[in-house]
Amino acid sequence: MIKAIRGTRDLLPPETALWNFVESAVRDVFRAYNFQEIRTPIFESTELFARGVGEDTDIVAKEMYTWEDRGRAASEKGQSLTLRPENTAGVVRAYIEHDLWQCGLNKLYYIGPQFRRERPQKGRYRQFYQIGAEVIGPPSAGSESPARDAEVLEMLATLLDRLGIAGWNLELNSVGCPNDRAAFNEALRKALEPVVGKMCADCQRRAVTNPLRVFDCKVPEDQPIIDALPRIGQFLDEGCWKHFDAVQEILTRVGVRFSLNDRLVRGLDYYTRTAFEFTHGALGAQNAILGGGRYDGLSEALGGPAAPGIGFAIGEDRLVMSLQESASAEAAVRKPDVYVAPLGAGMNAEAARLARELRRHDLAVELGDESFRLKKSFEAATKAGAKYILIVGENEVKADAFAVKNLATGEQVAVARGELARRIQGE
């Protein structure tokens, strides 16, 4: 049997209804904040991700689906292409390519699949779905303002509340400017040097490859050592501090709760200043439901104009997962309003006419078959969860009035053809 390949999966009904529920809530909320949708290609030049995400990040170094495209001629070398591992680089590429800065401040969102070749586990797939948004534009349009950071964070709080996600937590930090980070990295290496020998094996490795990751360590014995390490905050310049303070000030004033986490570091090279994560319990080790931050230098790194921005990506797989355990999950599935049951030979055509008419009135209609005995039609209607069953038999056609039975109450009435839609809609 041919199966879905490792790390990919089919999303089946009724779960797909939940995905649609999430996505339509997302679109509603984003619209209220004047974000508009962008759809970028699912694959891009490998170079885009190498430059945008960072050569040395794990994503680019070992987690991308990359292949060499065919050249036009057999002898010609094709270019290297990659399935997008995230969507920010593609959005910024499009921003540059289409001169979108001429529109001032751009507020763009996307919903779609991304691909990383990681070991699958719960909430982590090789084809996974992200919902993200970016605010990007020339500094003169206010793209650099802490007001943008706060607006994005407040929007996310609104979205999670709207979805009924209980118990989310917003963790906030500032990772400063590139200069600050360089100084911090240097200080961190120095501070680690004398103590790293006493730390766990993982930390000894991290100290060499990626010192920032030492902050992720969960080994209890290492915590006192980590607590004594320098923090990024000590290296922020005045501008970064003012920015960070202003973001917190606005969040407090609009009533979005958050906690500061000076251990929160981001893996992607392009992040500057504000970094954040929304976490949610009951997701196992993958407890981050969304993350994001500011990326003031990304556009220029990709050869574009100065275009500070801030964005985030929601792991939709995980979002849906945490929703399945909450109450709002139920409402998502729309059951048929009415089951149309043709009864006896020759009744399919009449049933189809009636179904067409009812559907024109925006009713959800399931249609049976004239070969079914009435009992079977009732069973099918009940199983489908229809509110009503409409019987289309010889008697009805003769009288031009149709038996309509409420499957929940058992109440049954004869309804004239012209009244059917109103009758079914009305109750």
The CB density around residue 289, as the number of other CB atoms within 10 Å, is: 23
248 vs 377, beta carbon nearer RNA:
377
105 vs 390, beta carbon nearer RNA:
390
Q: Can you give the binding site for RNA, defined by CB under 7 A?
A: 3, 5-8, 57-59, 63, 116, 118-125, 128, 130, 202, 206, 209-210, 213, 216-218, 266-268, 277, 284-286, 288-292, 313-315, 317-318, 343-344, 373-376, 378-379, 381-383, 391, 393-396, 403, 405, 407-408, 410, 412
Q: Beta strand pairing status for 288-294 and 338-342?
A: unpaired
Q: Beta strand pairing status for 365-367 and 338-342?
A: parallel
122 vs 334, beta carbon nearer RNA:
122
315 vs 336, beta carbon nearer RNA:
315
Residues in the chain: 427
Q: Give the integer Cα–Cα distance in Å for 65 and 82.
A: 6
Closest approach, Cβ 79 to RNA, in A, equals 24
Q: At what angle do helices 15-32 and 316-324 cross, to 10 degrees?
A: 110
51 vs 266, beta carbon nearer RNA:
266
Q: Considering only CA atoms, which of 320, 321, 299 is closest in space to residue 310? A: 299
Closest approach, Cβ 82 to RNA, in A, equals 15
84 vs 266, beta carbon nearer RNA:
266
Closest approach, Cβ 84 to RNA, in A, equals 12
Closest approach, Cβ 220 to RNA, in A, equals 13
Closest approach, Cβ 109 to RNA, in A, equals 15
Question: What are the angstrom distances between the C-alpha of 326 and each of 70, 155, 164, 331, 387?
Answer: 48, 21, 7, 11, 25
Contact present, 300 and 310 (Cβ < 8 Å) = no
106 vs 377, beta carbon nearer RNA:
377
Q: What is the DSSP letter of 50?
A: I
Q: Which residues, 6 or more positions from 89, have their beta carbon under 8 angstroms from its beta carbon?
A: 44, 48, 49, 52, 53, 298, 302
User: Six-digit token pair at 172?
Assistant: 């906030």
Contact present, 324 and 332 (Cβ < 8 Å) = no
128 vs 235, beta carbon nearer RNA:
128
Closest approach, Cβ 77 to RNA, in A, equals 26
Count Cβ neighbours within 10 Å for each residue of 321-354 and write b for 16 or more, e otherwise: bbbeeeebbeebeeebbbbbbbbbeebbebbeeb
Q: What is the DSSP string of 189-241?
A: HHHHTTTGGGS-HHHHHHHHH-GGGGGG---GGGHHHHHTS--GGGG--HHHH
Closest approach, Cβ 360 to RNA, in A, equals 24
